[in-house]
Amino acid sequence: MSRTERSADAVRAAARLAKVAGTALVEADLTLPQYRVLVFLDAGERPASHVAALLGVAPSTVTAAVDGLVARGLVERRADPADRRKVVLALTTAGRGALRRGDDVVAARLDRLLGFLEVDEAETVLVGLAHLNRAMERSLAERFGPPAGDPGP
pLDDT at 150 > cutoff 70: no
In a domain, 94, yes or no: yes
pLDDT at 152 > cutoff 60: no
In a domain, 106, yes or no: yes
* Domains held by the chain: number: 1
pLDDT (tens digit per residue) in 36-47: 999 989 988 988
Q: Which pLDDT belongs to residue 115?
A: 96
Length of the chain: 153
pLDDT at 3 > cutoff 50: yes
In a domain, 120, yes or no: yes
> Residue 44 in contact with residue 149, Cβ under 8 Å?
yes
User: The domain that contains 14 carries what CATH number?
Assistant: 1.10.10.10
Q: Can you give the residue range of the structural domain that contains 26?
A: 3-144
In a domain, 153, yes or no: no
pLDDT at 112 > cutoff 70: yes
Q: Say how far apart CA 17 and CA 14 lie, in whole Å.
A: 5
pLDDT at 153 > cutoff 80: no
pTM of the predicted structure, to 2 decimals? 0.85
